[in-house]
Structure 1
């Protein structure tokens, strides 16, 4: 039997190598057309696992770039134990990484995990929870809280079936045990937090809401998430009497709301929200609402009204204090299935006034289904990200 000469074998292997590279490049170009600016920043890199910290440079909106979460002093912590002890967390558990480890911490997971938290998980400043490449669920009891903390990334986690928690003590940031009052069953709750990026998570079926930004929290970007199967989805602002939330600034971009979402996508109190390039797959009561004179710039979103029921996107709570003064503006939104948007008449559209590092281009609403097509936790197969 004749064997090919070594030079021919080498040539064949070389051709196969370049063909595979060309195939990957072609696929990358195709995928690049569908990727939003955040995902283009890291998903097109086939070596993203080796360069996972690149993610911190990809954020947009009010959170800005999360470069404070990376650097030479960064600690890489891997979760290998799915158990939870809220008072004395064990090494290798998620709570140990978010509370005991000091400094900049980048948390990943060894394998697929189902984590049932015994008490709310308080996350320290300069912490990244990165669920890429595995399938991590935090579910069926307490969930996540960011309390008086800053510079936090939550990426690639499924959080669902969260339940209210009675008052108790819990290990908090910097390894300090702190008392917590009654906690509602929210998936993720921000309390007096700043510079927070919540990206590519899947949130659903919680007893209260999916995401609350409250008590003076600000500089928050909520992007690429999938919110589904929920009554109250997203609350921006603690309550009508909490005036510190007037300084709240939140970017809501590239998210998918639905199916089976009822209201608060988001509901805004006092502060300002830039809601752009999101896909609204129906609602029951309303999609976007608020009270206490909030400001909203709804820009290039796709609103698909429910087949039966309320077609109006917005809801406003009237009160004597607010005097019915609103600043709700719709710019380049697309409305399907007879959806409508009750805009503020007169007055200027309040701009987000982003800094250079926060700024991004809002694309035409006709591209929203592409921009949000991979919202929620991503799927992974070797080097490919879906």
Structure 2
């Protein structure tokens, strides 16, 4: 009996200790160190980014988010008509080749067998709050030919670090499959697309991506695994600047005071801090078609209860699969407006969606499959707030599918006269579509000459 008791205590500790660590971005001392490290160059970038973020903010996010669900409806209706005729009428379908596009974003580009020659078409396909993100569409192509990352100040041409620190817009792709271990955080400049299609690209066993005070970045078709903190030091962040950086936090992708960001078809697991964090007034972001596994605190949107600049944060989560061995924060939100639509939540251990400081969360057409643990059936978690406070937060579930005892605790005003129900098949019958819409989440295996 004593042995059983000790095993129970050890099990509880193993589950609890990771949550006690918390996210380093929520540590006020960390923010003090970051602010103190800004030189005049970074202060100027911060001021410019603040103006860009304000311009990216949408005054009526409810009307905008309704457009997303209408587009999904159009796809579903066309598919159902095709299926009722005994065939699949997929746009761009080739003879004897079945297109694997099952949602509106993928339908925009995946059925083109010449996708490798038409890479920049991808930038026309983003939906959600990040809809105006074009990445490096207006620039030249840049081919990454080396997986080395051994010079933080003067990276060699042909390396990923050299590519992302150029001043001009660039569409970055890879000459072959490769594994890249980032020695320090990869600081990505504005107007860049990182396009992993046609190669198997692993970013792993090193530092992650940092998007700080930038705009217009697309990250597509790569795998980000086993990310650790960087030790800091002199690191180049643009063609004309490098400077001293503090220790990086260990995020897979850290979005810091940035706007117009699209993360699509990325596979992520096991980062020291968050998989994707968006903080400090970042906005106009879409995260779509991604596959997440093996992590505790998956996403943090808004790092500090004391920073109300995140009121302009607007993020769409669309067609993602939250998979095996995830624990919590899918996402955890502060202040902003978050449209969580048609994602498949098949695993969590504590909760799926949480937040504090009055965020607006519209959960629409998702499938939530609760764990067998009777203490973890609730999808939602409000932190550091009494019911008297959070009952006014607008957290609405619009015809989500709730499986295995899952339940969503709603709050705030009911959505009346909002554009979510207009021809909206997903809202009325979401459970029968989520698996289809998110079926190809994660990095794809694209072969030149064939539909992806």
* Bin of the TM-score, shorter chain as denominator length: 0.7 to 0.9
1:213 paired residue number? 278
Instruction: For 1:330-341, list aligned pairs within 5 A.
Output: 330-341=397-408
CA contact (8 A) 1:327 1:349 kept: no
Instruction: For 1:1-386, list aligned pairs within 5 A.
Output: 24-25=94-95, 27-28=97-98, 31-32=100-101, 35-67=102-134, 69-71=136-138, 74-84=139-149, 85-99=151-165, 101-309=166-374, 310-319=376-385, 323-324=389-390, 325-344=392-411, 346-348=413-415, 364-365=429-430, 366-385=432-451
SS at match of 1:76: strand
Task: Decide which structure has greater strand share.
Answer: 1
Whole-angstrom distance in 2 between the partners of 1:231 and 1:67: 31
CA contact (8 A) 1:188 1:212 kept: yes
TM-score (normalised: structure 1): 0.86
Task: Note closer, same or farther for the CA distance 1:134–1:216 as it changes in structure 2 (3 Å cut).
Answer: same
CA drift of 1:338 comes to 1.1
SS at match of 1:209: coil
176-185 or 151-160: bigger deviation: 176-185
Whole-angstrom distance in 1 between the partners of 2:340 and 2:180: 31
Q: Deviations over 1:154-213 (max 9, x none)?
A: 001101111112332210034310222232111000000000000000010111110000
Task: Decide which structure has greater helix share.
Answer: 2
CA drift of 1:306 comes to 1.0
166-175 or 272-281: bigger deviation: 166-175
* Aligned residues between the structures: 353
SS at match of 1:370: helix
Whole-angstrom distance in 2 between the partners of 1:312 and 1:278: 17
Task: Note closer, same or farther for the CA distance 1:104–1:250 as it changes in structure 2 (3 Å cut).
Answer: same
1:6 paired residue number? none
Task: Note closer, same or farther for the CA distance 1:329–1:114 as it changes in structure 2 (3 Å cut).
Answer: same
Unaligned runs of 5+ in 2: 1-91
Task: Note closer, same or farther for the CA distance 1:165–1:322 as it changes in structure 2 (3 Å cut).
Answer: farther
TM-score (normalised: structure 2): 0.74
151-160 or 374-383: bigger deviation: 374-383
Whole-angstrom distance in 1 between the partners of 2:114 and 2:130: 26
CA drift of 1:345 comes to 5.1
CA drift of 1:275 comes to 0.2
CA contact (8 A) 1:197 1:220 kept: yes
Whole-angstrom distance in 2 between the partners of 1:175 and 1:337: 55
CA drift of 1:224 comes to 0.4
Q: What do you get for the CA RMSD once the two structures are aligned?
A: 2.3
SS at match of 2:349: coil
Whole-angstrom distance in 2 between the partners of 1:218 and 1:352: 22
CA contact (8 A) 2:365 2:401 kept: yes
Q: Deviations over 1:352-382 (max 9, x none)?
A: 99xxxxxx99564221111111100001244
Whole-angstrom distance in 1 between the partners of 2:417 and 2:210: 30
CA contact (8 A) 2:377 2:407 kept: yes
Task: Note closer, same or farther for the CA distance 1:367–1:26 as it changes in structure 2 (3 Å cut).
Answer: farther
Larger RCO (alpha carbons 8 Å, 6+ apart): 2
Q: Deviations over 1:47-96 (max 9, x none)?
A: 1111110000000001113346323xx11100001101211100000000
CA contact (8 A) 1:291 1:316 kept: yes
